[in-house]
Structure 1
Amino acid sequence: MEEKMADYGKIEKAAKTRKTVFSTITYILLIFWAVIVLFPFYWMILTSVKSYGAYNSEYIPAFFTRSPTLQNYADAFTAVPLGRYFANTVIFTIVTTAVMIVVITLAAFAFARLDFRGKNIAFILFLSLMMIPNELVIITNFVTITNLNMRNTFSGLILPSVTSVFYIYLLKENFEQIPDSLYYAAKVDGTSDLKYLLRVMIPISKPTLITITILKVIECWNSYVWPRLITDDENYFLVSNGIQEIRENGFGRENIPAMMAAVVVISLPLIILFLIFRKKVMAGVSRGGTKG
């Protein structure tokens, strides 16, 4: 009996040792991967606090600086109208996201809850739009916006981005998880479809809607190709295509520290947004991708 207990203790000890070794290796790999991912951000911030002279005098790049400066950040707002780029981007992001949320919510509700002839076929055709390359859509949108004389306007920037097939699909899948009995009970009580959507479906699907909102905000903030294509007036530049203006007409191609300072300023809102809502993003994505 004692021998069996001793053998059991050895087996348990060996299992704990294997578990400890496995956990240690896992954490080492995670730390290594985190360093690889975060190092570009560290290098960007480090470069932004180096003076122009100190940066150019480094024959071998230094991983720290003894004389940090914030002058590059001051130059980021004086050499070019970075504040205007920020304001344009905020307007573009808020309006586009708000309109898109309304559009995709109504569309997802129609596909998930309403019954009408040809609904399944219409949804399949709708999903097939995801197979069209973005380049073809951009060309079509450019021709349409140009023919409507909407270049260099906020309307021209916003209209092509107020819907998303993927977000409609994601929200539709979330809506379909809500039991049909709630809908039928609401109809028996005389509740309209719009009231049911606002009072039942939207509150239940709040995590997914928050996720979609955050992802859309990030998408709008990072938008580059379409704003660059549809605007050539500096008054309508966003921060993304404003970076090119900063590089060409602001600091010049050699003033890398000032460029990095502008990039840090532009990236900071998205980093803060993700850090605040990261748990809601993960919860919304996992909820939208789970049936039952």
Structure 2
Amino acid sequence: MLIPIIATIGLGFTEWDLVNDPRWVGLANYKHLFKDRIFWLSFKKTIWFTLINVPVQSFLALLIAVLLNRKLKALNLFRTLFIIPWVCMSVAVGLTWTWLFNTQFGYINHVLTSLGLERIGWLTSDKLALYAVIFVNIWQYLGWHIILLLAGLQIVPQELYEAATVDGANNWMKFWKITIPMISPFFFFDLVVNMIMTLQIFDLPFAMTNGGPGNATRVFNLYLYQKGFSFLLMGEACSMGVVLFVLIMVATFLVFKFLGSRVNYEM
């Protein structure tokens, strides 16, 4: 595990085109990156992607998990339906949704036109493309977060709810005073993992738009990939990998600092 990290850090100080031997250039790659407009644009796109995806996905997963935690006859069926998108390959999911979002032949626009509405360029509009990719990302990985939170809900002792009922607590009070504190370790873990996964998002933007239209969906990891394998600037790509690593470490530290103290580890 340490060898790839050390190699990436080292190559970040070199100029390497994957053909010739790496040549030491010191901090030149970092200086070039910080002057690169697309680098900062991809950085902002990734932050915005994360700020939307993480809270929406995690809180939606919590809501659905609470609903599924009831004694439903079809509980296993619902679990399966939510988990299927997650086990599918992201590239396959991305290509499927690309077809569904297609302006001329996509099923979504077919429904819109049948209702008398105009077709929408979901993936060809620089204002909508990023949100379309975020929607697909939420849809694909929602099941994983639901299963995680559902596992936390199912270990909450029912005696606590029964005692609260005797004391006159309503469902809303039970949710805030019992459910949330008891599953807070699971929810906190879900938030952290979700944030780390989203900051590394690559596959769906790659499969659905390849960063387009223009730079509308060119997230950080996608630009890193293009730097290394399209532009053959592997040294700069490695330096971007180091920047991403630092970003994830700082973001994780801040989450633990400001939210970690609110987690209840007493069961």
Give the structure-1-normalised TM-score.
Answer: 0.67
Aligned match for 1:129, one of 80, 84, 92: 84
3-state DSSP of counterpart to 1:162: helix
Match in the other structure for 2:262: none
Match in the other structure for 2:115: none
Where do 1:140-289 residues align within 5 Å? 140-146=96-102, 147=106, 148=108, 149-151=121-123, 152=126, 153-163=129-139, 164-231=142-209, 232-233=212-213, 234-247=215-228, 252-253=231-232, 255-273=233-251
Count, aligned residues: 230
Could you tell me which amino acid in structure 2 is paired with residue 123 of structure 1?
A: F
- Per the TM alignment, residue 194 of structure 1 is displaced from its structure 2 partner at its CA by 3.7
Q: In 2 relative to 1, CA 129–235 (structure 1 residues): closer, same or farther, beyond 3 Å? A: closer
Could you tell me which amino acid in structure 2 is paired with residue 150 of structure 1?
A: W
Asked whether 1:47 is paired with 2:11, we answer yes
Match in the other structure for 2:117: none
| Overall identity of the aligned pairs, in % | 17
Tell me the distance in 2 between the aligned counterparts of 1:212 and 1:180. 23
Tell me the distance in 2 between the aligned counterparts of 1:132 and 1:257. 33
Tell me the distance in 2 between the aligned counterparts of 1:247 and 1:264. 14
Structure with the largest fraction of helix = 1
Gaps of 5+ in 2: 109-120, 257-264
- Per the TM alignment, residue 215 of structure 1 is displaced from its structure 2 partner at its CA by 1.3
Could you tell me which amino acid in structure 2 is paired with residue 95 of structure 1?
A: I
Deviations 1:25-48 (A, max 9, x none): xxxxxxxxxxxx212211221222
Could you tell me which amino acid in structure 1 is paired with residue 239 of structure 2?
A: A
- Per the TM alignment, residue 156 of structure 1 is displaced from its structure 2 partner at its CA by 0.3
CA contact (8 A) 2:95 2:208 kept: no
Match in the other structure for 1:100: 57
- Per the TM alignment, residue 264 of structure 1 is displaced from its structure 2 partner at its CA by 1.4
Could you tell me which amino acid in structure 2 is paired with residue 260 of structure 1?
A: C
Give the structure-2-normalised TM-score.
Answer: 0.72
Could you tell me which amino acid in structure 1 is paired with residue 122 of structure 2?
A: M
| Higher-Rg member (1/2) | 1
Could you tell me which amino acid in structure 1 is paired with residue 201 of structure 2?
A: S
Tell me the distance in 2 between the aligned counterparts of 1:71 and 1:40. 21
